[in-house]
Structure 1
Amino acid sequence: MTRPYYAPTGGHPDQTQLLTDRAVFTESYAVLPKGTMRDITTSFLPGWDKTRLWVIARPMTGFAETFSQYIMEVAPGGGSDTPESDPQAQAALFVVEGTAMLTVGGQTHQLAPGGFAYLPPASKWTLHNTGQDTLRFHWIRKAWQPAPGLDVPDVLIASDADTPPTPMPGTEGRWATTRFVDPSDLRHDMHVTIVTLEPGAVIPFMETHVMEHGLYVLEGKAVYRLNRDWVEVEAGDFMWLRAFCPQACYAGGPGRFRYLLYKDVNRHMPLTPLACG
């Protein structure tokens, strides 16, 4: 059976594999190919049972500073009653394999592959794998930034299958974005979406903007322009972009190209007072 979304499974290659790979870290972007997500790069978290994770992004001064992103792997019977230790952290969860039982606000939600949850800060959620299969999901964390006149966002439960994609203007649907959160809701200071490009579709200009990005390829393959380089990427790869990194894409096929996208939005830029000399 074909998996609808790629998820790492760990393991190690044998001693015959060549060392040359597509992994790269530059001053403006990083690419973590799926082959880098081995057993040796996993970690564990306090409060989580039968769980390991790949940390694929974390705030780094001088690079991307607003978010962290994990790929969580929860064995049957595993999970956590105390998943988040930071009361300022909001979360976006996206399930790629297995089924998560998420409890928040006194309600329990079953998240199958494609299931999405937005969890505001201090929402006291729990998550468990009560099924027979391994659960894998993305967990994106950002400290929520208050703004005058805006309340903390509400809990939101959605799914890829039930959220119609929005075609980008002038593309006849060949380039579309699945938006789980209303982009006009200024309570949200991060957006997590799914971008879909049909075979032959392009992002036809060099996007150059202040938003930081995490892009995890869920399906297909493409060539991505990152700063001055064209980089081949495929399902399971992760791209990590700092602010103002130029970017574009050509999805050559044969199938569609889809990725889970993070960006920071809707807030003033923090200003550092100039030192007086």
Structure 2
Amino acid sequence: MNKSTYFAPSGGHPDQTQLLSDRAVFTDAYAVIPKGTMRDIVTSFLPFWDETRLWVIARPLSGFAETFSQYIMEVQPGGGSERPELDPQAQGVLFVVEGSFDLSFNGETYRLEEGGYAYLPAGLKWTLKNNGDAVTRFHWVRKSYEAVDGLDHPDPIIANEKDVAANVMPDTDGVWATTRFVDPTDLRHDMHVTIVTLQPGGVIPFCETHVMEHGLYVLEGKAVYRLNQDWVEVEAGDYMWLRAFCPQACYAGGPGPFRYLLYKDVNRHMKLG
């Protein structure tokens, strides 16, 4: 695929003539954070990250995301971190939407470019450096790992989307497919970050209602998404959070594919307290 199709925010600030009405929605069941809200004024910073800012698009919060946080990181040339993750219980997934960086752990260094994916298990010591001459932007999804007695911790994974065959959904003639970086039968993992692709006119043909919490970042294209009782238009650069059991469905609007980066929590008993 053409690597330039991934959408990445660049910040900036609207002028005083722009209307205040927008597509941002925050409800008890879902939230929509449009790309137009990802401006300079809402960026954040992290300890021990040099030449870096980020947009926090999900965080554990009463009435919002419960299991994960998600950042869009923006690292300038020469920037990065020798101490990126300060929580020893936090596992992470990195997905590159623009530029490249060098990721190092266990004595090895890996260059991740656009479409690059890394799974970083809890407790892993890793570093990240933008050694290129252009800004790099990537998603960082974090979740506290739920260890299970008798199951080993997962191993690190380095991949690129272009090298992973998508799994076509049954009875869809190829219009709906999921790119999986982790074997879904590997119960060591308690979260998955995948890429869902719907070709123009493709649909999720029923209202999915399930236990998994979702974070969806639109990488490419546009669609009309069913969120609880509402149909909401979304496009590349928009972010959606869906509470567990929030009904969801989708019509891909074309003219090109509709693609999104999807988080979900998996493979663990429900907490009873």
Range of TM-score over shorter length: over 0.9
**1:121 maps to 2:105:** no
Give CA-to-partner distance per residue, 1:36-84, whole Å, 9 cap, x none: 0000000100000000000000011233200000000000000000000
- Which amino acid in 1 is paired with 2:267? N
Q: Is 1:45 paired with 2:40?
A: no
Aligned twin of 1:208: 209
How many Å apart are 1:172 and its aligned residue?
1.4
Q: Which residue of 2 aligns with 1:268?
A: 269
Q: RMSD of the alignment, in Å?
A: 1.0
Q: 1:127 to 1:2 in 2, by over 3 A?
A: closer
Q: Which 5+ residue runs of structure 1 have no aligned equivalent?
A: 273-277
TM-score (norm 2): 0.98
Distance 1:8 1:178, change over 3 A: same
Match of 1:247 in 2: 248
Sequence identity, in percent?
74
Question: Letter of the aligned partner of 1:25 in structure 2?
Answer: F
Show the counterpart of 1:257: 258
Deviation at 1:263, TM superposition (A): 0.1
Q: Which runs of 4+ in 1 moved over 6 A?
A: none
Matched, 1:131 2:137: no
Count, aligned residues: 272
* TM-score, normalisation: structure 1: 0.97
Partner of 1:108: 109
1:193 maps to what in 2?
194
Residues in 2 aligned to 1:76 and 1:187: alpha-carbon distance in whole angstroms: 36
Cα distance in structure 2, aligned partners of 1:101 and 1:4: 22
Question: What's the CA shift for 1:161?
Answer: 0.3
Partner residue in 2 for 1:275:
none
Tell me the residue number matched to 2:8. Answer: 7
Per-residue deviation, 1:2: 8.1
Distance in 2, matches of 1:2 and 1:139, equals 19
Q: Secondary structure at the match of 1:35?
A: helix
Q: Distance in 1 between matches of 2:149 and 2:86?
A: 26
Which residue pairs with 2:85 in the alignment? 84
Distance 2:141 2:81 in 1: 16
Q: Tell me if 1:33 matches 2:31.
A: no
Q: Do the aligned residues in 2 keep the contact of 1:64 with 1:243 (CA within 8 Å)?
A: no
Q: Which runs of 5+ in 2 are unaligned?
A: none
In the alignment, what sits opposite 2:164?
163
